[in-house]
Amino acid sequence: MSITDTSNPAAGTTLSAALRCSGLTKAFQGVHAVNGAEFSIPTGQITALIGPNGAGKTTVVNILSGAMKSDSGQIFIGETETTGWPSHRVARHGLLRTFQLSRELGGLTVLENLLTAAPNQAGDSLFNVLTRPGLIRRQERENAQRALELLEVYGLYRHRDTPARELSGGQKKLLEISRAVMGSPSILLLDEPMAGVNPALIDVLGNYILELKRDGVTVLMIEHNLGVVERICDYVIVLAEGRTLATGRLSDLRQNTEVVKAYLGEVMDASAAN
């Protein structure tokens, strides 16, 4: 499947869909958090998922990542249907995610947190443990080297031996992203990466996300900071009451009366008040 790249001014430009869903529904005690959501994520782009509180954004991300099963609907990563897959199987297919509230392994060091995310570890196999210890040791050295390189990139190298629980809120966000990158994702879902972050770190995080795009990672991020969305996102999906209200570039969506009424109006009013 291909979709129009609305972020590209060149007419007729299309991109394949890295991730798409249709007819997603999820109800809790009869109340629909997601009610027919349908959209596609362009390959190699940064897409924002925005909408008012209670729109179902995090529930959608939970469903896409396999942390939660939908009541109905379909999900595809590329051409592979992943509907109902558990999160570990989705991750092995290249889709990883972070959380709004950081979920670091607090008792492990920063370096150890990254090492837990290394994919396809030979030491997971009892056969390899018994018959191929050399392979395991070599892979462990390679994983450690890659983890240290990522910690250097994300400004956490000097904290490599620090228990993760001792990091600041912003550092924990960086740890979450670097740990996800350690898993070699082709698609990365970010749940409010700028939430609770010191304003001085917001631009830094934005640049890291842009770098992921340059490295070929497709990004879907829930984000309320429209300044960040406008600066780094190619494509925007607006969710309201569990449904897809509109898609496109943020500059175009600002002219959409339904979107302004449902979400952008209150955000812009709040910005003006501040």
**Helices assigned H by DSSP within the chain:** 57-64, 87-92, 110-115, 126-131, 133-153, 169-182, 199-214, 226-232, 250-253, 257-259, 265-273
Q: Which of 44-53, 108-117, 220-229, 255-264 has the lowest average pLDDT?
A: 255-264
- pLDDT band at residue 131 under the 50/70/90 scheme: confident
Alpha carbon of residue 70 to chain centroid: 18
Amino acid at 162: T
pTM attached to this predicted model? 0.83
User: Which residue in the block uniquely carries the two structure tokens 């972050």?
Assistant: 197
Neighbours of 75 (CB within 10 A): 22
Q: Where are the domains of the chain?
A: 2-104+185-273, 107-166
User: Which residue, among 98, 63, 96, has the nearest Cα to 82 in the 3D structure?
Assistant: 63
User: Which residue, among 38, 4, 6, has the nearest Cα to 19 in the 3D structure?
Assistant: 38
Is the CB of residue 185 less than 8 Å from the CB of residue 96? yes
By CB atoms closer than 10 A (0-12, 13-18, 19+), residue 145 is: exposed
Specify the pLDDT at position 259.
Answer: 87
Q: Hey, what CATH topology would domain 2-104+185-273 get?
A: Rossmann fold (3.40.50)
- pLDDT band at residue 98 under the 50/70/90 scheme: very high
Specify the pLDDT at position 128.
Answer: 64
Helix (H) or strand (E) holding 221: strand 218-222
Is the CB of residue 95 less than 8 Å from the CB of residue 187? yes
- The SS3 of residue 115 is helix
pLDDT(26) > 90: yes
For Cα atoms 122, 128, 129, give the angle at the middle one, nearest 5 degrees: 100
User: Which residue in the block uniquely carries the two structure tokens 């018994």?
Assistant: 130
Please state, in angstroms and rounded to a whole number, the distance separating the CA atoms of residues 147 and 173.
16
- pLDDT band at residue 118 under the 50/70/90 scheme: confident
